[in-house]
Structure 1
Amino acid sequence: MSELLNTPVKQPNKIVTQHNNLINSHFDIPTVQLRAFIYALGHIHKDDKELTHVKIPISALYTSKGGKNFKQVAKLASDLQEIKFKIENLGADKNGQVKRTFASMVIFPTVTYTQDSKYIVTKINNDLAPYLLDLKGNYTQAELEQLLGLKTIQAYRIYMLIKQGQFKDKPTTISYRELRLMLGLDIELSDEEARKQGLPEGETVQVIKYPLFAEFKRRILDAAKEDLKDTDMAFDYKINKRGRNADSITFSLIKTIRIHLPESGKSSKLEASLIQQELFFSPTTNPAIDKVTKNAIRIMKEKYSFSDELIDRYIRLLDPVVITKANNWFSTNKGTLSFTSESEWFSKHLENKIEKNKRQL
């Protein structure tokens, strides 16, 4: 075990990737422990065949300055070994009927820490490998720096929830019941466990936190909205009711995009303008603008197979019209160009445009 302490400190990747079933799993953990998990995710590479040990600087897990003493680090190591994810999978039984199955997994089976209290060394549970390695689809990517900067576990969970549906044609809607389970505010018990807990007949969900919706709204929805307002997943939400009770919640992504608007009285000239618009059927959405953006997204996703993270980068940093025109030019002239991959060439072309825009600022 002592040789693990000689594990070198490595620079994490800028992008982390997770299977959506892992993102939607049921858990609630303190922010420091969440950062340890995210930091460990940052050391997984696309071509990795197995999970490996990671040396995590304690300073990367805390926003406050100053070191932590041995007792604090020892407690952190112990707490990390208690974290569990409850992951739902859908499969068919022998009769072909769709069946929900759940797997409860510890994230960090072992955690080693150095005597100087500067590092912990750990490895993500190998049972989680199918949700992190060799992913072929149904996964979501996010920027490591963005995730590490989030203040609460609730902000992280909602960030990743919205991120999954970022390029879909409609907003993300989740039932109030499922969102509470996902956030670990409620837990689902077996019939026997429910009876032991004294729950009413037929009720199997035990409330852990924030039983009143007003409290849930303030501590979860409004707090996450505030935390994410300056990120790429800034959002607004709508509470959908059944009768007088909350039934589901719809999250609409607020996107800052660059568009061109005609100058007043000078229809022949265009000026650049940044606007805030809600995508996904917002009442204020301009259909023409939305159509251009969606077309640029479609081109990058279907023709060039860009990742969601890369698409998000180009939509944020370039005018969607520029992306569309670049694609048209490339389609017309690619016979005269030398390249090994259309996706690689087009990505480099867009990166060059971003750099050119920066120099002009």
Structure 2
Amino acid sequence: MVQKQNFIWKNDRNFALDKYEQQQYYYVVESNDLISKAKHDLTTNQLKIIDFLISKIKPDDKDFEELETSMYELTNVLEIKRSGRTYNQIADTLDDLRKKEVTIYNQDRESIVRTGWVSSAEYFKNGKVILSFDKKLAPYLLDLSKNYSQYLLIDTVKLKSKYAILLYKLMREADRDNGKSITILQGTPEEFKEWLGAPKSYSYNSLKNQVLIKAIEEINLKIDDMNLEILQGRYGRKVVQVEIHNNWTVQRATKENTEYVESISTMIG
């Protein structure tokens, strides 16, 4: 394991072949099982780093290639100021990520996969970093033709809360017709706690107020094609079902845009 004192960054170059501003508009493509059936405890920054690395996978890749990036790029991904101290913190975050486990239920094989996210990380004094995904993740990230979701990297990069990032991904996974109708994500309060990694000790009110509402507010503020609201189903006084609706649809957005253009044209005319 690389020791803290060995991280001596000599410069601030961007070693990536693609400019980060362009890569923000690359797609993150992953199996739905990795979104809704995986258990992990990644931090907000680690979720963003994983999405960033996934966005570097090419559609025709059959095996994992080493992924080259830099501390310069990673500070942009995490939207933090670049400095030697920051670089050390990112290296610590990557080392912690390398040790963390993800558990995935594989419905087709009727099995449970337990593996790490990153199998290796190599750091260079000039700021370059080379990372490799664990090969056990290949069925969930490579050569996907069905049961997958995709979204722009920039969407999860701009979200600040890990709950918002995870809820955003679940809403993308629940959208089966690309926004042609209202997307509905439904589950019990216990399922939402599991999906979002909320404390098991949370009451429903704590889950709603500390996790769901805050995540919904952030998503609605920052994601253009999401307009989320929460609905509840009760048995007696107890909430037994939760639904998150994305009321944004392609048809509604097209209509609103047309009405806006027509109103502007009328004002100009």
TM-score (ref. length: structure 1) = 0.58
Aligned length: 229
Higher mean C-alpha displacement, 241-250 vs 47-56: 241-250
Q: Which amino acid aligns with 1:126?
A: K
Q: Which amino acid aligns with 2:101?
A: K
* Unmatched 5+ stretches in structure 1: 1-7, 93-99, 187-206, 261-270, 275-317, 319-361
Tell me the residue number matched to 2:209.
218
Tell me the residue number matched to 2:258.
272
Tell me the residue number matched to 1:239.
232
TM-superposed CA distance for 1:68, in Å, is: 4.0
The 8 Å contact of residues 189 and 204 in structure 2, kept in 1 or not, is answered as no
Q: What are the superposed Cα offsets for residues 211-244 of structure 1, whole Å, 9 maximum, x if unpaired?
A: 2222211221111111111312331111223333
2:239 match: secondary structure: strand
Tell me the residue number matched to 2:267.
none
Q: Which amino acid aligns with 1:258?
A: T
- Specify which of 124, 130, 133 is matched with residue 121 of structure 1: 130
The 8 Å contact of residues 27 and 182 in structure 1, kept in 2 or not, is answered as no
Q: What are the superposed Cα offsets for residues 118-137 of structure 1, whole Å, 9 maximum, x if unpaired?
A: 34321111110101111121
Alignment of 1:52 onto 2:65: yes
**Which fold has the larger relative contact order, with Cα–Cα distance below 8 Å and residues 6 or more apart in sequence?**
2
Name which one, 1 or 2, has greater alpha-carbon Rg: 1
| Alpha-carbon distance in structure 1 between the residues aligned to 2:115 and 2:234 | 34
TM-superposed CA distance for 1:172, in Å, is: 2.0
Alignment of 1:35 onto 2:48: yes
Tell me the residue number matched to 1:14.
26
Alignment of 1:89 onto 2:143: no
TM-superposed CA distance for 1:41, in Å, is: 0.5
Tell me the residue number matched to 2:113.
103
* Aligned CA distance change for structure 1 residues 120 and 247 (closer, same or farther; 3 Å): farther
Tell me the residue number matched to 2:80.
64
TM-score (ref. length: structure 2) = 0.76
Taking the TM superposition and a 5 Å limit, the aligned residue runs for 1:171-320 are: 171-185=184-198, 207=200, 211-230=202-221, 231=223, 232-255=225-248, 257-259=253-255, 272-273=258-259
Tell me the residue number matched to 2:162.
153
Tell me the residue number matched to 2:95.
78
Tell me the residue number matched to 1:191.
none
The 8 Å contact of residues 167 and 196 in structure 2, kept in 1 or not, is answered as no
TM-superposed CA distance for 1:79, in Å, is: 0.8
* Aligned CA distance change for structure 1 residues 239 and 119 (closer, same or farther; 3 Å): farther
| Alpha-carbon distance in structure 2 between the residues aligned to 1:35 and 1:74 | 14
Tell me the residue number matched to 1:350.
none
* Aligned CA distance change for structure 1 residues 74 and 44 (closer, same or farther; 3 Å): closer
TM-superposed CA distance for 1:183, in Å, is: 2.2
- Percent identity between the aligned chains? 21
Q: What are the superposed Cα offsets for residues 183-220 of structure 1, whole Å, 9 maximum, x if unpaired?
A: 2336xxxxxxxxxxxxxxxxxxxx3xx52222211221
The 8 Å contact of residues 46 and 94 in structure 2, kept in 1 or not, is answered as no
Tell me the residue number matched to 2:5.
none
